Amino acid sequence: MILKAKHHFIIYPFFKWYARWQTRRKFSNTTITGDFTDRGLPLLLVANHVSWWDGFWAMVLNIEIFSRLFHFMMLEEQLKKHWYFNHSGGYSVSKKSRSILASLEYTRELLKNPGNLVLIFPQGEIQSMHRQHFRFEKGIGRISAGLESKIQVVMAVFLTDYFSRPKPGLYLYFREYPGITFDRDSLEKAYNQFFADCLEQQCGLND
């Protein structure tokens, strides 16, 4: 049985505040780059998974751009250990259990509410920020299949750079998925192209 997401009236607002406060405290700047046309649909946010920070960065992006009720999938053992995330929009997934199907179906249920945003890391695990090609797990296809006209898929890329500063700068890129089909291969191809575009833009920056 999966642990479904909750939004505690104290813990969830604190999580939003804490995400912004920690980001401002630990990074010299936060630069958000992207275009988004809000069509009033549920949002599936697809992002690279590079660190412990990712959920906080996605929350900052949601606060600044999307303004949806935040949800994210988290390994069951970690969610039980860090129970407060369950009260901040986190819900469980267990990769080595048949309950993974229930988690994917629950994600689809969340994506029926236009007020919701669901964050997904389709890599399935934390990988180096220097990785330049991504392979998506099958679950992303199960989630998005048949939802083409019912949700908006937004791709996000999280990067950091120091340049000449003692603290790193944070760079959040986002772009709405341009495809008309939401199968895994199409999403993976589009995301890899988007990441390459972001990396090229990032390499052109200077302090």
Domain count, the chain: 1
| Cα separation, 16 vs 66, whole angstroms | 13
| Cα separation, 142 vs 151, whole angstroms | 14
| 32, two tokens | 């958000």
How many angstroms separate the first and last alpha carbons of the chain? 49
pLDDT of residue 115: 98
Residue type, 149: S
| 109, two tokens | 């249920």
pLDDT of residue 145: 87
pLDDT of residue 206: 81
Task: Give residue 31's domain range.
Answer: 11-203
The angle formed by the CA atoms of residues 40, 2 and 99, to the nearest 5 degrees, is: 105
CATH number reported for the structural domain that contains residue 145 in this entry? 3.40.1130.10
| 192, two tokens | 């890899």
Residue 6 lies in a domain: no
Residue 54 lies in a domain: yes
Q: What phi, psi does 69 have (nearest 5°)?
A: -75, 125
Residue 4 lies in a domain: no
Residue 3 lies in a domain: no
pLDDT < 50 regions, the chain: none
Helix/strand/coil (H/E/C) assignment for every residue in 78-119: HHHHCHHHHHECEEEECCCCCHHHHHHHHHHHHCCCCCEEEE
Residue 197 lies in a domain: yes
pLDDT of residue 99: 80
| Cα separation, 143 vs 42, whole angstroms | 13
Residue 81 lies in a domain: yes
pLDDT of residue 126: 86
Residue 20 lies in a domain: yes
Residues 29-63 have pLDDT tens digits of 999 999 889 999 999 999 999 999 999 999 999 99
pLDDT of residue 24: 96
Residue 1 lies in a domain: no
| Cα separation, 140 vs 118, whole angstroms | 12
| Cα separation, 96 vs 86, whole angstroms | 20
